Amino acid sequence: MRPYHQIPIVECGEPLVRIPLELFAVESPHPYEKLGAPYGENSPYYLRRSVIESLIQAQNYLQLLHPNWQIQIFDAYRPVAVQQFMVDYSFASEMELRGLTQAQLSPNQNQEIWEAVYQIWAVPSLDEKTPPPHSTGAAVDITLVDDRGKIVNMGSPIDELSERSHPDYYANTSHPEAQNYHAHRQLLRDIMLKAGFQRNPKEWWHFSDGDQMWAWVSNQANPANSLTARYGRLV
């Protein structure tokens, strides 16, 4: 259970629709599809209709500040089966990074790696009360692309299992390059919050609008709020 799972879900029934990819920058082919993630007939480039409208609004805010910059969509809708695939893939990758095999893992090492994985990845729960955020169609992983088509450096890649993923990791640095990383993260945050999104407290790239995390972060920011989630798990 994550803290945001305490938020009730009152599903509004809004449909999942295709993101107009021509309006955004997109990584192609999709990063998880390249790994073999089992999307089946589902597409990762779908979101709830109102979430797409908010995302377009965020890009409009961005282009007022930086003409010809774009939001790059890394990932959006993610069925629970894909969530499970990516959790398992991340565990295997982290194990390999540490020079270990499954047979060599001690119970403590096994637990340590799972804890690292779940710092970033939501549990692939099939419980309708605790859906992974991306399975609701209300969460999106994004970065920025500048007017030359170059991905803006945020100081760490999306999905990295380290403290560098925390949004304010570079907030108190005196190094000029690291200050730029923080400024880029703040720019991303500002345009998304202005469009109604909330940011995952542990991931600079993850934003949501209408799911449990969105409601929980909103309520934490303003204790007078008592928001509920309007989007639950789809598949």
Active site residue ranges = 203
Contact 181, 155 (CB under 8 A): yes
- Residue 109, H or E segment: helix 107-120
CB atoms within 10 A of CB 101: 9
Contact 48, 14 (CB under 8 A): yes
DSSP one-letter code for 153: P
Angle at which helix 80-97 crosses helix 107-120, to 10 degrees, equals 130
Distance, in Å, from the CA atom of 156 to the CA atom of 166, rounded to the nearest integer, reads 10
Closest C-alpha among 162, 154, 160 to residue 183: 154
Closest C-alpha among 231, 230, 228 to residue 6: 228
Burial (Cβ within 10 Å: 0-12, 13-18, ≥19) of residue 4: buried
Distance, in Å, from the CA atom of 2 to the CA atom of 94, rounded to the nearest integer, reads 22
